[in-house]
Amino acid sequence: MKKMNYMEFEKFHKDLRKGFKPSTHIRVNPSEVALLKSLEKEPNMPFKFYGRHLKLEKSSFSYVVELLEVKELITKSEDPEDRRRKSLELTEKGKALVEELNEEFDKYLEKRFEHFSKEDLEDLGKAYEIIKRLNKVLEQSRPKRHEDDDRPEHPRQPEHRKPRD
C-alpha cells in the first residue's frame, strides 16, 4: 500500500476552494463562512469546539462570533447550569445564508471541475465515496468525549473561586 500524505489531501482541498468568493446577499469573510459551515455540520457543540475547529485564537474567534451575531446569523447562549459554557446556534437567517453559500459553492465547483476529464471525475467520485465511508469508520472508533473536556482554561482554580455544588 502506498503511504498516504496528509499534506497532499490538504493541498487538494485548499486548491479546490482557492478563488471561491461568495457573492451572497450578506457579505461574509472566510472565517465567518467557516464558522457558519461548522455550525451547520456540527450543531449544539460547546463554544470552544468551534474555536478549536477553526484553529483561531480565542480573541479572533470571539470577534468572528461577534460579527455573525451583529448580522443576526447566529445566537450565543449560556448554559443555565454552568455559565462558563456557551453554545452557538444558527438563526433562520443564518440557515438561509448557509444554504445560499452551499448553492454558490456547488456552482463554483462545477466550474472548477470543467478542467477534469470524464475519467478523472469518475475517479474523484469513487475516491470521495471511499473517504466518506472511511470517515464514518473513524468517527465510530473515535474515543468518547469526557464531560470535563470543556472545562475552563485554568482547571486549578484557587479554592475560593471553585464553583459550589
Q: Select the CATH number that applies to the domain covering 27-115 from these four: 1.20.20.10, 1.20.120.1200, 1.10.3720.10, 1.10.10.10.
A: 1.10.10.10
What percent helix, strand, coil does the chain show, rounded to 5?
Answer: 60, 5, 35
Distance between alpha carbon 15 and the CA centroid of its chain, in Å?
Answer: 18
> How much is the pTM?
0.71
Q: Are 105 and 117 in contact (CB under 8 A)?
A: no
* pLDDT at 150 > cutoff 60: no
Distance between alpha carbon 41 and the CA centroid of its chain, in Å?
Answer: 7
Predicted confidence (pLDDT) per residue in 106-147, tens digit:
999 999 899 899 999 999 999 889 988 988 888 888 776 554
Per-residue pLDDT at 152: 46
pLDDT band at 85 (very low <50, low <70, confident <90, very high): confident
* pLDDT at 80 > cutoff 70: yes
* pLDDT at 160 > cutoff 70: no
Query: 27-41, 90-104, 150-164: which range is least confident on average?
Result: 150-164
Mean pLDDT calculated for residue range 6-22: 83
Decide: residue 73, CB within 10 A, 0-12 exposed, 13-18 middle, 19+ buried. Answer: buried
Domains of the chain, residue spans? 27-115
Per-residue pLDDT at 123: 93
In terms of pLDDT, which residue wins out, 55 or 159?
A: 55
Per-residue pLDDT at 10: 82
d(CA 17, CA 14): 5
